[in-house]
Structure 1
């Protein structure tokens, strides 16, 4: 996943020089708009016999300057201001992820030891204990041996189904975060390449607000990544607290059931998938970009429907596979 995110960032850097190809055309459009802008205002003030106010007439020249040095003045300035936010949230996420991996390893080891300490479940997780119990039995205990084989097979089947379902949810979780990053990169590339055109059009009367709209939309899309990192770090911290609680229960509570925590983890993954889909909406609370909030809602609605359909298909397939396995063991 980290490699894919790095590829998207490299793609953005590689596509940035393409905005230079739009600068020549943008200069022509801005020059024409600036000519109309200056002529109209100068003629208006002369017709009213008023002194010419020079300061408002500098606007077309400032726009032309921004277009000429667009990659440096505009994109470079915005990225330099926002990049510390991205760096800070990324460090926060990396620290949480490292702690999560350590606690997960500790929890898996304690769960194995917890099952092994219990004489009623030790043979389910440990091959040596299982073989030792089978060797101690004779032909008279054939029914008990058969029951042990069936219980062990059912336990392994349950673990396999849980692992499969958990892996699918984790894949959907990663895919949703990657979709958000892909859309973010696509919008940033479009805004960067066509940015000079947006600045050039703002030289015409009636489009003066176009620059502010472009800047607000660029910042709105840019902060999707730090918002996503903050959300991921929150999820990681919640998982760490859950793992700490499971570790404490396995160390102090002999009646603890690990299956309950696994079910909670699956539910938590579903909540995380839904939360990732709200990142565009959360970004709209930070920067209000006209016309982009509806787009964010549309993206969230489409992705939520896709995730719901995918989860339903996975659930039906998982139940079908489990049902067939159970019938086979009964036979």
Structure 2
């Protein structure tokens, strides 16, 4: 039994050491955040194209409805013609629109990160307290195996969360770059649902990291 415990400790020592480094290191996440900020100016390159698409769509949208009201001898509904103007204004200030969406959703990421970090720190303090008990309790195989299993779960979580954050960042960059075109196409009849789909997809992808943080808190 003692030989098995010694072999298990030797095998798990590199895992425990690496897990501490990964859990404490947030440099790659900082790199991903910086990459997202650096790629945001690329969406300005499609604003000109989106203005052309949206401008033609606005002329078609307004002209069709005005002609329909005139043909039916009805007063023109000005309120119904505001949609292309609002979408066109959003295209012109699209980087500010992205900043507004991120500003609304970012507190969710920070809150779940604090939740995950607090739970992990509490569990580490608990295991340190357990190790700081009697000498026999510190050498107990059950305590070592339990702590090693917790560290292994934390290591797996950190790796998976990192992969999720990488995929999430690239998805958000792609969605932000094609956003102006989506806003321009949504002016046309038959494509009005595109802006709703785009916004729902952006929020869905943005919340991947908070979900991963909540899962990490549950594991801890």
TM-score scaled by length of structure 2: 0.78
Moved more, 216-225 or 173-182: 173-182
- 2:182 aligned partner: 198
- 1:33 aligned partner: 57
| Relative contact order higher in (CA < 8 Å, ≥ 6 apart) | 2
The alignment status of 1:227 with 2:185, answered yes or no, reads no
Give me the whole-angstrom Cα distance separating, in 2, the residues matched to 1:115 and 1:87.
36
Give me the whole-angstrom Cα distance separating, in 2, the residues matched to 1:225 and 1:231.
10
- Closer/same/farther in 2, CA of residues 216 and 10 from structure 1, 3 Å limit: same
- 2:67 aligned partner: 43
Q: Which residue of 88, 92, 103 maps to 1:68?
A: 92
- Closer/same/farther in 2, CA of residues 78 and 166 from structure 1, 3 Å limit: closer
Give me the whole-angstrom Cα distance separating, in 2, the residues matched to 1:115 and 1:65.
65
Give me the whole-angstrom Cα distance separating, in 1, the residues matched to 2:162 and 2:169.
10
Q: Which residue of 206, 211, 214 maps to 2:195?
A: 211
- 2:101 aligned partner: 78
The alignment status of 1:4 with 2:28, answered yes or no, reads yes
Q: Which runs of 5+ in 2 are unaligned?
A: 1-21
> 4+ residue runs of structure 1 moved beyond 3 angstroms?
106-113, 165-173
Give me the whole-angstrom Cα distance separating, in 2, the residues matched to 1:191 and 1:115.
52
**CA displacement 1:194-249 (0-9 Å, x = unmatched):** 1111101101110111111111111111111112112211221xxxxxxxxxxxxx
The alignment status of 1:105 with 2:128, answered yes or no, reads yes
- Closer/same/farther in 2, CA of residues 111 and 174 from structure 1, 3 Å limit: farther
* Preserved CA contact (<8 Å) 2:43 2:176: yes
The alignment status of 1:91 with 2:75, answered yes or no, reads no
- 1:174 aligned partner: 158
Deviation at 1:105, TM superposition (A): 2.8
- 1:183 aligned partner: 167
Q: Rg larger in 1 or in 2?
A: 1
Aligned residue pair count? 193
**CA displacement 1:54-86 (0-9 Å, x = unmatched):** 1111111111100000111x2122112112222
- Closer/same/farther in 2, CA of residues 169 and 92 from structure 1, 3 Å limit: closer
Map 1:240-319 onto structure 2 (within 5 A): none
Deviation at 1:30, TM superposition (A): 0.4
Cα-Cα RMSD: 2.6
TM-score scaled by length of structure 1: 0.53
Give me the whole-angstrom Cα distance separating, in 2, the residues matched to 1:67 and 1:31.
11
